[in-house]
């Protein structure tokens, strides 16, 4: 290609590039950035169907089934694989242009038949991408027709959820799919006077397997029988023994069906379980509680005390010792976090947990950014911040993205950011560390195995944050302040 054939669409002088680089760090630019309405840049959330897929993956023998575009399905699978560094089984009926024009029923028929024939699932969980939602595909009718026409056996469970991503995020898709599966499996299973004696534990959308294992650890120590719904712990964190398993774990379907007769149901996230808990409240036996994620001492205490009260079990000595170690770790490290200003972004339930922990440590949550949340969430966050003097001067921004957050960091700086991998550009531009908590974390290893809930979570978060600040001190201090001991 000759030089004259290449015509650049835009060309800017190095001086102009430098000028704009400076300008986007100013108050003037921030005002323009916050006036933006029709454009979203780097939002801190994923698609509805991705959340639905997390739920579908967490039930025994269940094949997640995407009704929609192949590209969307690849995105969900690759995101899980990058975050967990595990295979993420899911299939898709690959709608294309003709499906968009004539409807996706034929794709669904063929897809369901192939998926059942090839992968022999015990359950197929179907959820949608944007395309079938835009054209209004009727999943109720399509699945009924697929069974009537013999594409799949009549008795095969096929719960489904409508998960349009133009109207919600991964937490809403999670909620819709979980509600649908529980509604399907528990239908006609309620028996008056029957009680399984078990706790139904609903962890909510959580990409941290360490958190799930921490809950399991507490329940086992307290000798409380439970069923976790969904349970992705083995699915996305199974050992490497040389054998690939298509269905490595998940909540047993029979136990999920019996959950309607449970002794108690606890959801550990409020905003990702709204529809599910509505179903539980209207149909399930026993006591129903929605609690905050147990992050920090106070919220972990509340969770354990609730378990103790509901199941009439004392707090075991081993847990009292765990708590004491966490308090000791807080005391040892308080001087490294005390007074530090932090920006925090992520899902509503995670944000409430992280902020609660920071306030306990005497750190200042300073910019709190949630890319999709309601006024109710903002009110709850504001109320939490008001409980501590360290919450003063913190601003909460809902329905703002990470490009908004960048403006905040450049005009009103903080010492660090807490959030998922998507925050790394803003952190780099601002020259501050990113503490990776949330989903997805696709540029560091094993953080999805390191709990941030419970007493161990307190120790882990302190270690991550305090040690990074100490690293920075060692790397940047003048020679006379370079000390052996910190
Ligand atoms: S936003 Fe819609 S079209 Fe885009 S990846 Fe998500 S489901 Fe697919």
Domain residues of the chain, as ranges?
Answer: 48-186, 199-314, 318-479
- Does any ligand 1 atom lie closer than 6 A to the CB of residue 47? yes
Give the distance (Å) from ligand 1 centre to CA of residue 80.
Answer: 15
Q: Report which protein residue has its CA nearest ligand 1's atom 4.
A: 72
∠ CA 318-206-398, rounded to 5°: 120
Q: What is the pLDDT of residue 3?
A: 58
**Rounded mean pLDDT of 414-433?**
98
The values of phi and psi at residue 85, to 5°, are 55, 45
Ligand 1 centroid distance, CA of 120 (Å): 27
Please tell me if the CB atom of residue 73 comes closer than 6 angstroms to any atom of ligand 1: no
Question: Which of ligand 1's atoms lies nearest the C-alpha of 163?
Answer: 7
Q: In a 3-state reduction of DSSP, which class is residue 432? A: coil
Cβ neighbours, 10 Å, residue 28 = 11
Exposure string for 324-334, b = 16+ CB within 10 A, e = fewer: eebeebbeebb
Output the average pLDDT for the chain.
Answer: 97
**Per-residue pLDDT tens over the stretch 358-374:** 999 999 999 999 999 99
C-alpha angle with apex 255: 251 to 260, nearest 5 degrees? 115
How many C-beta neighbours within 10 Å does residue 196 have?
Answer: 19
Mean pLDDT value across residues 322-333 = 98
- Is it the case that residue 52 has pLDDT exceeding 70? yes
Q: What is the pLDDT of residues 207-263, one digit of tens each?
A: 999 999 999 999 999 999 999 999 999 999 999 999 999 999 999 999 999 999 999
**312-330: average pLDDT:** 98
pLDDT for residue 4 is more than 70:
no
CA 254, CA 407: separation in Å to the nearest integer? 51
pLDDT of 5 above 90: no
d(CA 321, CA 318): 5
Residue 251 CB–ligand 1 contact under 6 Å: no
Residue nearest to atom 5 of ligand 1 (CA): 72
Name which residue sits closest to atom 6 of ligand 1, judged by CA: 47
Q: Which is the catalytic residue, given 20, 134, 191, 477?
A: 134
Q: Which residue has the least CA distance to atom 3 on ligand 1?
A: 130
Is the C-beta atom of 164 inside 6 A of ligand 1? no
**d(C-alpha 486, C-alpha 474), whole Å:** 9
CB–CB of 105/74 below 8 Å?
no
Closest ligand 1 atom to residue 130 Cα is 2
pLDDT value of residue 45: 96
Mean pLDDT for 31-46 is 96
Ligand 1 centroid distance, CA of 254 (Å) = 33
Taking the centre of ligand 1 as the mean of its atom positions, its distance from the CA of residue 288, in whole angstroms, is: 34
Hey, is 176 helix, strand or coil? helix
**Using an 8 Å Cβ cutoff, are 465 and 337 in contact?**
yes
Q: What is the CA 50 to chain-centroid distance, rounded?
A: 10
pLDDT for position 8: 80
Q: How many C-beta atoms lie closer than 10 Å to residue 323's C-beta?
A: 18
Q: Round to whole Å and give the CA distance between 95 and 91.
A: 12
Q: How far apart are CA 451 and CA 272, in angstroms?
A: 19
471 Ramachandran zone, left/alpha/beta (phi>0; psi -120 to 50): alpha
Indicate if ligand 1 lies below 6 Å from the C-beta of 130. yes
Distance, in Å, from the CA atom of 143 to the CA atom of 394, rounded to the nearest integer, reads 49
Which residues are 127's β-sheet partners?
A: 66, 161
Instruction: Examine the residue annotation and report whether 477 is marked as an active-site residue of this protein.
Output: no
Q: Residue 2: its pLDDT value, please?
A: 54
CA of 379 to the centre of ligand 1 (A): 30
Tokens of 385: 């911040």
75 close to ligand 1 (CB < 6 Angstrom): yes
Largest CA distance in the chain: 84
CATH number given to 199-314: 3.40.50.1980
CB of 43 closer than 6 angstroms to any ligand 1 atom: no
- Establish whether residue 70 lines the binding site of ligand 1, counting it when its CB lies within 6 angstroms of any ligand atom: no
Q: What is the pTM of this model?
A: 0.96
At 11, is the pLDDT very low, low, confident or very high (cuts 50, 70, 90)?
confident
Domains 48-186 and 199-314 share a fold: yes
Residue whose CB lies within 8 A of the most ligand 1 atoms, among 129, 131, 173, for a mutation test: 129
What's the CATH fold of domain 318-479? Rossmann fold (3.40.50)
Between the CA of 27 and the centroid of ligand 1 the distance, in Å, is 34
Tell whether ligand 1 has an atom less than 6 A from the beta carbon of residue 52.
Answer: no
- CB of residue 49 inside a 6 A radius of ligand 1: yes
Report the alpha-carbon distance of residue 146 to residue 142 in Å, rounded. Answer: 6
Which residues lie closer than 8 Å to 121 by C-beta, 6 or more apart?
A: 61, 62, 63, 115, 156, 247
> Among residues 438, 377, 369, which one has the least CA distance to residue 409?
369
Instruction: Measure the CA–CA gap between 378 and 370, rounded to whole angstroms.
Output: 9
Rounded to the nearest angstrom, the distance between the alpha carbon of 75 and the centre of ligand 1 is 9
The minimum-distance atom of ligand 1 relative to the CA of 47 is 6
- Average pLDDT on 44-59 reads 98
Question: Taken in order 47, 205, 399, 403, is the CA torsion positive or negative?
Answer: negative
Q: Whose C-alpha lies nearest to ligand 1, atom 1?
A: 165
What is the predicted pLDDT for the residue at 464?
98
Is the Cβ–Cβ distance between 214 and 452 less than 8 Å? no
Ligand 1: residue whose CA is nearest its atom 2: 130
For the record, the structure tokens of 140 come out as 């109720």
The tokens of 429 are what? 């531009």
Atom of ligand 1 at shortest range from CA of 131: 3
- Residue 469: C-alpha distances to residues 76, 310, 333, 346, 435 (Å): 34, 41, 11, 22, 11
Atom of ligand 1 nearest to the CA of 46: 6
Token duo for residue 231: 């349970």
Going from the Cα of 165 to the center of ligand 1, the distance in angstroms, rounded, reads 6
pLDDT at 335: 97
Residue 92 Cβ < 6 Å to ligand 1: no
Q: What is the DSSP string of 362-411?
A: T-EEEEEEESS--HHHHHHHHHHHHTSGGGTT-EEEES--HHHHHHHHHH
- Rounded to the nearest angstrom, the distance between the alpha carbon of 93 and the centre of ligand 1 is 15
Q: Is 130 a catalytic residue?
A: yes
Distance 386 CA to ligand 1 centre (A): 38
| Candidates 3.40.50.300, 3.90.45.10, 3.10.310.30, 3.40.50.1980; CATH matching 48-186 | 3.40.50.1980
Q: Whose CA is nearest to atom 8 of ligand 1?
A: 72
Q: Would you state the pLDDT for residue 7?
A: 78
3-state helix, strand, coil in the chain (%, to 5): 50, 10, 35
- Cβ neighbours of residue 420 under 8 Å, at least 6 residues apart? 44, 346, 436, 437, 438, 439, 440, 441
Q: Which two tokens stand for residue 459?
A: 């120790």
Dihedral pair phi/psi, residue 152, rounded to 5°: -140, 155
Residue 1 has pLDDT above 80, yes or no: no
Single out the catalytic residue among 47, 72, 126, 130.
130
Whether the CB-CB separation of 273 and 290 falls below 8 Å is answered with yes
Q: How far apart are CA 357 and CA 452, in angstroms?
A: 10
């Amino acid at each position: 290609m000759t030089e004259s054939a290449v015509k650049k669409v835009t060309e800017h002088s190095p001086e102009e590039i430098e000028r704009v680089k400076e300008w986007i760090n100013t108050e003037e630019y921030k005002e323009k950035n916050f006036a933006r309405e029709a454009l979203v840049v780097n939002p801190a959330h994923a698609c509805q169907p991705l959340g639905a897929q997390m739920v579908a993956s967490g039930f025994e023998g269940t094949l997640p089934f995407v009704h929609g575009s192949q590209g969307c399905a690849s995105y969900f699978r690759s995101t899980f694989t990058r975050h967990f560094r595990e295979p993420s089984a899911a299939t898709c009926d690959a709608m294309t242009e003709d499906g968009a024009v004539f409807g996706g029923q034929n794709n669904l028929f063929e897809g369901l038949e192939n998926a059942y024939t090839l992968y022999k699932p015990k359950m197929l969980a179907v959820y949608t991408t944007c395309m079938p939602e835009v054209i209004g595909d009727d999943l109720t009718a399509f699945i009924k027709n697929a069974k009537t026409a013999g594409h799949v056996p009549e008795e095969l469970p096929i719960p489904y959820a409508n998960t349009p991503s133009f109207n919600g995020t991964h937490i809403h898709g999670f909620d819709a799919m979980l509600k649908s599966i529980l509604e399907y499996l528990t239908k006609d299973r309620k028996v008056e006077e029957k009680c399984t004696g078990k706790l139904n534990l609903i962890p909510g959308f959580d990409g941290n397997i360490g958190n799930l294992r921490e809950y399991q650890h507490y329940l086992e120590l307290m000798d409380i029988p439970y069923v976790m719904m969904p349970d992705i712990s083995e699915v996305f964190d199974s050992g490497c023994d040389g054998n690939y398993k298509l269905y490595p774990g998940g909540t047993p379907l029979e136990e999920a069906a019996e959950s309607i007769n449970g002794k108690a149901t606890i959801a550990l996230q409020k905003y990702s379980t709204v529809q599910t808990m509505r179903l539980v409240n209207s149909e399930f036996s026993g006591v129903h509680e929605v609690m905050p994620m147990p992050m920090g001492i106070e919220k972990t205490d509340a969770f354990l005390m609730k378990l103790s009260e509901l199941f009439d079990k004392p707090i075991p000595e081993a847990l009292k010792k765990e708590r004491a170690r966490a308090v000791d770790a807080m005391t040892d490290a308080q001087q490294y976090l005390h007074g530090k200003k932090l920006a925090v972004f992520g899902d509503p339930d995670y944000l409430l947990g992280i902020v609660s922990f920071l306030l306990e440590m005497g750190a200042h949550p300073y910019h709190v950014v949630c890319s999709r949340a309601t006024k109710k969430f903002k009110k709850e966050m504001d109320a939490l911040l008001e409980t501590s003097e360290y919450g003063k001067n913190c601003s909460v921004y809902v329905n703002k993205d990470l490009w908004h957050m960048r403006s905040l960091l450049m005009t009103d700086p903080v010492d660090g950011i807490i959030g998922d991998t998507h925050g790394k550009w803003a952190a780099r531009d601002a020259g501050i560390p990113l503490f990776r908590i949330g989903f997805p974390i696709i540029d560091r290893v094993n953080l999805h195995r390191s709990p941030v809930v419970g007493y161990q979570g307190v120790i882990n978060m302190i270690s991550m944050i305090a040690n990074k600040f100490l690293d920075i001190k060692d790397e940047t201090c003048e020679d006379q302040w370079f000390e052996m001991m910190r």
